[in-house]
């Protein structure tokens, strides 16, 4: 996914982003370091394994760590908690190839405190020849750096998802930067019982979506179908759906073309495919397509939101959580114009306030809430009450 451009990290208003690159491949370390330096970042150190990466924190203070999962001596999963113990609030991005095993590990690392993940091509040749990897790398570092610099301290972290992870205290939230322009909430025009819950998210979304669904509770979620567009590559979305099913106790899987919607079921947009809706009345099914990216994204939140606005109208309940870019804004307009309800995550609890911030600033949000309270607010809406 390519999001809206961030301020250049080398501009006077934005200090250079300091990065530590940890990967067992000398080729990957060299290429990634060169790309980041050319993009205006400062590579403060490199490490060939997790042990060296952990020890390096005794002498350098990076803003962001790129941490490969598969390394000798101490792999990424072992190095991650040790690095966070040394530097609470450190922004760590996991790198891994697109395999089922690595998708599982990457999501587990997010639960343990990693801020994000970056899919890596297979082998040194793939890293060298795949242009999208370089683009995604630079864009992700720039956006995470911009979000980090917009606060006076480290980004807030949610409590880890309980996927076999030990209880671990989170750093205190840092105060959010004051918005550049006032945000006006969309007035509510009525109260229509929701028939569907739509969720859009990107960077920081895997943890945020799980926490939000847990906050709603299985009893309320069983009343309506839940459709989720999380910007993720193929393989990752299927694993993500399985984790959500484990966490909520509800059926959860990637959506299938022509599949009917069932209450109490979680449908995740497959990586690399748009997920929309088609049909009429009570006969509404999932529509998948391989159309061009929308907002540089596939799957795109806008695709799902626009279809739902047409088919469910005022009976649509939707929420946009943390994420880079502005995907979901055009769809949010269609939803609220049709009478649907739109909630967005606030800046202080977002990893990156791109997608929810874009909707809020456009005036399409009925509520702007911290992640910790979004679940209860949605539960009230599902129950037919007003917050």
Q: What angle do CA 200, 324, 380 make, to 5 degrees?
A: 35
- Shared domain check, 135 and 221: no
SS3 state at 367: strand
Last residue of a domain, one of 92, 125, 149: 149
> Smallest Cα–Cα separation from 359: which of 147, 218, 183?
183
Whether residue 337 is contained in a domain is answered as yes
> Smallest Cα–Cα separation from 1: which of 237, 167, 196, 190?
237
- 154 and 336 Cβ atoms separated by less than 8 Å: no
- Shared domain check, 115 and 45: yes
The pLDDT, as a whole number, for residue 15 is 81
CA distances from 302 to 174, 200, 273, 331 (A): 30, 9, 13, 4
Whether residue 224 is contained in a domain is answered as yes
* Number of domains the chain is built from: 2
Surface-to-core class of residue 166, CB atoms within 10 Å of its CB (0-12 exposed, 13-18 middle, 19+ buried): exposed
202 is catalytic: yes
What tokens appear for 238 in the block?
A: 């299927």
What tokens appear for 282 in the block?
A: 């009570």
Q: Return the DSSP state at 384.
A: T
Domain housing 208: 196-382
Please give the model's pTM, rounded to 2 decimal places: 0.85
| C-alpha count within 13 angstroms, C-beta hemisphere, residue 239 | 18
From CA 191, how far away is CA 340, in angstroms rounded?
9
Question: 327, 330, 358, 366: which one is catalytic?
Answer: 327
Give per-residue burial for 173-198: e unless 16+ CB within 10 Å, then b: bbebeeeeeebeebeeeeebebbbbb
Question: 96, 106, 202, 349: which one is catalytic?
Answer: 202
- Shared domain check, 251 and 363: yes
> Smallest Cα–Cα separation from 252: which of 234, 237, 267?
267
Question: 96, 231, 302, 330: which one is catalytic?
Answer: 231
- 116 and 93 Cβ atoms separated by less than 8 Å: yes
The pLDDT, as a whole number, for residue 364 is 97
- 345 and 371 Cβ atoms separated by less than 8 Å: yes
Whether residue 9 is contained in a domain is answered as no
> Smallest Cα–Cα separation from 87: which of 147, 146, 153, 164?
153
What CATH number did the domain enclosing 298 receive? 3.40.50.180
Whether residue 240 is contained in a domain is answered as yes
Whether residue 177 is contained in a domain is answered as no
What CATH number did the domain enclosing 51 receive? 3.40.50.2300
231 is catalytic: yes
* Per-residue pLDDT in tens (0 to 9) along the chain, 387 residues: 444 444 444 444 558 999 999 999 999 999 999 999 999 999 999 999 999 999 999 999 999 999 999 999 999 999 999 999 999 989 999 998 878 889 999 999 998 999 999 988 887 777 887 788 999 999 999 999 988 887 644 433 333 333 333 333 333 344 444 445 678 899 887 789 999 999 999 999 999 999 999 999 999 999 999 999 999 999 999 999 999 999 999 999 999 999 999 999 999 999 999 999 999 888 999 999 999 999 999 999 999 999 999 999 999 999 999 999 999 999 999 999 999 999 999 999 999 999 999 999 999 999 999 999 999 999 999 998 544
> Smallest Cα–Cα separation from 224: which of 317, 134, 157, 156?
317
Which distant-in-sequence residues (6+ apart) come within 8 Å of 50 by Cβ?
Answer: 22, 67, 71, 73, 74, 75, 76, 78, 79, 82
Last residue of a domain, one of 133, 149, 165: 149
- Shared domain check, 200 and 144: no
The pLDDT, as a whole number, for residue 4 is 41
């Amino acid at each position: 996914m390519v999001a809206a451009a961030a301020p250049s990290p080398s501009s006077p208003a934005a200090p250079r982003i300091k990065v530590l690159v940890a990967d067992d491949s000398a080729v990957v370390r060299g290429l990634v370091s060169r790309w980041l330096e050319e993009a205006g970042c400062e590579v403060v150190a490199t490490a060939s394994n997790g042990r060296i990466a952990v020890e390096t924190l005794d002498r350098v203070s990076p803003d962001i760590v790129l941490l490969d999962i598969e390394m000798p001596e101490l792999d990424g999963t072992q190095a991650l908690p040790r690095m966070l113990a040394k530097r609470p609030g450190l922004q760590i991005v996991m790198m891994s190839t697109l395999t089922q095993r690595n998708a599982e590990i990457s999501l587990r690392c997010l639960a343990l405190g990693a801020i994000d993940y970056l899919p890596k091509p297979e082998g040194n040749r793939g890293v060298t020849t795949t242009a999208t990897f370089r683009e995604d790398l630079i864009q992700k570092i720039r956006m995470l750096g911009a979000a980090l610099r917009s606060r006076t301290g480290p980004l807030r972290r949610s409590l880890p998802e309980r996927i076999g992870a030990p209880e671990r205290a989170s750093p205190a939230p840092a105060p959010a930067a004051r918005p550049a322009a006032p945000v006006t909430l969309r007035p509510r025009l009525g109260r229509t019982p929701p028939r569907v819950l739509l969720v859009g998210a990107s960077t920081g979304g895997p943890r945020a979506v799980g926490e939000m669904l847990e906050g709603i509770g299985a009893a309320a979620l069983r009343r309506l179908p839940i459709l989720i567009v999380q910007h993720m590559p193929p393989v990752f979305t299927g694993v993500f759906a399985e984790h959500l099913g484990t966490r909520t106790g509800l059926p959860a899987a990637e959506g299938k073309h022509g599949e009917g919607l069932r209450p109490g079921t979680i449908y995740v947009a497959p990586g690399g495919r748009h997920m929309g809706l088609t049909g009429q009345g009570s006969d509404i099914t999932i529509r998948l397509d391989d159309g061009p990216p929308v907002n540089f994204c596939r799957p795109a939140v806008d695709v799902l939101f626009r279809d739902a606005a047409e088919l469910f109208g005022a009976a649509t309940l939707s929420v946009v959580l943390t994420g880079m870019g502005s995907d979901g804004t055009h769809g949010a307009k269609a939803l609220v114009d049709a009478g649907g309800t739109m909630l967005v995550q606030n800046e202080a609890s977002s990893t990156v306030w791109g997608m929810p911030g874009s909707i809020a600033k456009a005036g399409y949000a009925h509520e702007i809430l911290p992640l910790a309270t979004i679940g209860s607010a949605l539960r009230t809406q599902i129950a037919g009450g007003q917050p």
